Structure 1
Amino acid sequence: MNDTVEGGGATLQAAGVTPVTAPAPRPGEPVLEGEGLVKEFRGGDGGIIRVLDHVSIAVRRGEMVAIVGESGAGKSTLLHVLGALERPSAGRIRLAGQAVEGLTEGTLDALRNRTVGFVFQFHHLLREFSALENVMMPLRIAGETLASARERAGVLLERVGLASRLHHRPGALSGGEQQRTAVARALAARPSVLLADEPSGNLDRYNAEALHDLFAELARDQSLGLVVVTHNQSLASRADRVLSLGGGRLVQSDVHGGG
């Protein structure tokens, strides 16, 4: 790992950001809440397009929730709003018990980086770094020591079945191994919430099934609130609840979950 990465992790105070200490949710309390969420965009003709229309959702620790729906229904937009990557046009969000509205961008970034892990369809690994270094990255940025970050990254990569691939760069990893590395990186900062957007969309059936098993295990073993957007029926069937997004509304789906 080069000097730039090893030297990362300036304190939030030095960067002029006020840290937010979110209260730890008590057992049974939601770790992710969205209430009355509205998201609107202005179309090319100048009209307003409402993608999310008063959506509400609550996800508890240890629970896996799948969100399904047609392409273009707004599933990725909902995930971005829930993860505080985008602000809603209206409505409220709480991450690990902390209200999001009213926070400055810097404070919101700090809260999101500490409480939410993201896994996308494309893994976005840094190709010049090994699997171990990629997983260490968010920890170093957060200010953890090199030794602590290396130990945590090694444990996570072992957890996702990559103990023998720590020092391989992404180009030397299979598609499934790259995505499992991305999952380990998302877990590095010990988030309360893991959000995944079509995480197995680019994988073959064998690797997709292995990743689906991993997500179901992680929600339980890591005590995460897990929300996954997917078209994959196999992944949705592993969820505790399956919700369908259509016409801007989120409703209980007839797809069976909890299998």
Structure 2
Amino acid sequence: MREFIDDNPWQALRRFTQARIALGRAGNSVPTEPLLAFKLAHAQARDAVHQPLDADALHQQLRAQGFASIDVHSAASDRAQYLRRPDLGRRLSDESRSALASIDAQSPDIVFVIADGLSAFAAAKQAVPLLLALRPQLAQWNVGPVVVARQARVALGDEIGQALGARFVAMLIGERPGLSSPDSLGIYLTFEPRIGRSDAQRNCISNVRPEGLAYAHAAHKLLYLLTQARRLGLTGVALKDDSAPRLAAADDA
């Protein structure tokens, strides 16, 4: 059937991107193969939003790698309410708040929170490999237990960090899925987390996945931001990510 397809002259550019460009044309429509691929990607994006996080499996992975872990839940009772009420995803449930209050975490330098966000696929797939890439570089940091959070928005990390007395919280959260990236992880770093922090007081590293920002590169960026944030005593718009030249030098070496 290839004789009915008009190829796009930009087709050679497709090897550089996952974006849907130069798909060709069959009559007045796109060819069947890219149309079916689009429908599959759309279904995967929808699944990523609605799929629940398997917290038990994630705790098992973490503990098998030597990480202590804690389970928490936001005030959203289920996925449907989470999607309708973003505000509930930013606060802990009463049970989780009480559980964190009973933990003696000895005021860690940093607490990592793995959260489902809008893609449980991303949290389940990318978070543990990222922590493994980062762990050798945190020997001088007092790292608290890893918190696994369900039905969570980014700001939930503020209340978790405050409850544990952490100086920093790093939220590893599933990002809103795209049509070529249903499993993309975002990192949100906040200094002195507490309820009421705004997005302007955080730094974000996005698209962490093998097809996007590799684990080693994401770990490098996060360590750079952590080091500078500890020196300056802040995160957010006043903290600039100047890690790229250092990363390029390390790659050359």
The TM-score with structure 2 as length reference comes to: 0.27
Structure 1 or 2, whichever has the larger Rg, is 2
Structure with the largest fraction of strand = 1
Greater helix proportion? 2
